[in-house]
Structure 1
Amino acid sequence: MKDLNLPLTRADVESLELGEMVTLSGTVTMSIGLPTHRRMVELLDAGQPLPVDLRDGAFLHLSCYNRERPDGGHDALYLNPTTSTRYNAYMPRLVEGAGLRLVGGKGGLDEASVAALQRQGCAYLSFLGGGCALLSQAIRRVVSVHWPEEIAQFRLLTLEVQALGPATVAIDAHGHSLYEQLRAQAVARLRGGQAVQALP
């Protein structure tokens, strides 16, 4: 298990091996909102800065409910991954436009996103689905909350975390993907007549 301390250099990310297990420490930014992704891309396309600087950082598809305190601060109550493929249309622009080094969630990303990861020197991390109790232990504090008019899980949220994970390097910075490898293996088995037969 390798603990990655953010921010990261391109060389840091390019040294990660496909299938390697990692944890994250430092500040990470997250949202599961499609409107949030669209808003981020619109800002980048307009040449305007994002509310939080993501260069050399991590942007994750983690659901989080952040509760506002009476003093105006926030408490993050949990972390749980959602399916990244829902955001395929926005990820290439976000990866390169925001200068990301890590993205993550569950389920992987499409070919256009994988190509953007390779160009940028960015990797995709797969987090444990249903691992809410484990992942939430990494929360240390809420650093910032942007776009509070959105529901909590759609806001652009930055947290300080310690040893967030474990996560698997499922798409590396060189264009290799565990998802594609598994798909190719499944196709090969089907073509070879090794498909699992249904039980009677």
Structure 2
Amino acid sequence: MATHHLTLPVDVEAIRGLRLGDLVTVDGEIVATGGLPTHKRIIEAMEGKRELPFPLEGAGFFHLPSYSRDTDHGFEIVYINPTTSTRFNPLMPKIIRHYGLRIVCGKGGLDAECARAMQEVGCVYLSILGGGATLHTDAIKEVTGVGWSDLVTHYRLVKMRVEGLGPLTVGIDAHGNNGYDQLEARARERLPALMEELRAARESAAAGGGSDPAA
């Protein structure tokens, strides 16, 4: 496991240099949202049905919605906290490929089709700490753009400058290695033995008149 400090925008060589399990901190401009309607609008922009508020080519795209408010001085972020990326599995492969995203970040990972898209274009999935709102919010230095202000604040497409965002863990690298799939496979391998152990413990408890350890 290695530690990396990335400044966005970042080139594909740096992304392909990351490996599953590496730790990353990020500086620079990221684009963030937590909304399914927002992702659908991005698809519509790809299809020429609407305009994007700002370019996404080669971006760091974060599933990092904010609790925010509109003030007389502009868009104020009170705090940010990640949302579950798997909600967007059906849409993300198209978005990754079309815009050549370099980073997708959130919690919970993405599926195999997303991982294939990442491998094709040179993109990684960075896992961010769920519930780490204070840590993440402290990394925000400036909001540099807000798109689709007709949406509720946490669905808007927000561009912000961050410093020292992280540490983030490479959960899917640009070589097709998906830590979430590997973890699920290991869990499935262990399940029969665990179930057998539980069955034996229950039978032993019943035979001896003891309590069920699983109760």
TM-score interval, smaller chain: over 0.9
Q: How far did residue 137 of structure 1 move?
A: 0.8
Cα offset, 1:112, TM superposition: 1.1
Pick the aligned partner of 2:15 from 13, 16, 27: 13
Q: Hey, what does 2:118 align to over in structure 1?
A: 117
Asked if residue 170 in structure 1 is aligned to residue 168 in structure 2, the reply is: no
More helix by share: 2
Over residues 157-187 of structure 1, what are the superposed CA-to-partner deviations in whole Å (9 max), with x where a residue is unaligned?
Answer: 0010001111110000011011011111111
8 Å CA contact 1:5, 1:26 repeated in 2: yes
Structure-1 residue corresponding to 2:52:
50
Distance 1:47 1:12, change over 3 A: farther
- Summarize the Cα distance change of 1:50–1:44 in structure 2 as closer, same or farther, 3 Å threshold: same
Distance 2:78 2:31 in 1: 15
Determine the structure 2 residue equivalent to 1:107: 108
Comparing 181-190 with 33-42, which one deviates more in the overlay? 181-190
Deviations 1:101-120 (A, max 9, x none): 00010001111111111111
The structure with the larger Rg is 2
Q: Which amino acid is 2:78 matched to?
A: L
Q: Which amino acid aligns with 1:55?
A: E
TM-score (structure 2 length as normaliser): 0.87
Q: How many residues align?
A: 198
Aligned-residue Cα RMSD (Å) equals: 1.5
Structure 1 position 67, deviation (Å): 2.2
SS where residue 104 of structure 1 aligns? strand
Gaps of 5+ in 2: 199-212
Match of 1:77, SS?
A: strand
Post-superposition offset of 1:49: 5.3
Cα distance in 2, alignment partners of residues 156 and 76 from structure 1: 13
Question: Structure 1 residues 116 and 181 mapped into 2: Cα distance closer, same or farther (>3 Å)?
Answer: same
**1:30, 1:62 within 8 Å by CA — same for their partners in 2?**
yes
Answer yes or no: is the 8 Å Cα contact 2:41–2:50 preserved in 1.
no
Q: Contact (CA 8 Å) 1:76, 1:141: kept in 2 or not?
A: no
Q: How does 1:1-200 map to 2 (within 5 A)?
A: 1-46=3-48, 50-71=52-73, 73-191=74-192, 193-195=193-195, 197=198, 199-200=214-215
TM normalised by structure 1 equals 0.93
Distance 1:179 1:65 in 2: 28
Conserved in 2, the CA contact under 8 Å of 1:75 and 1:141?
no
Q: What percent of counterpart residues are identical?
A: 42
Measured in 2, the distance between the counterparts of 1:144 and 1:120 equals: 26
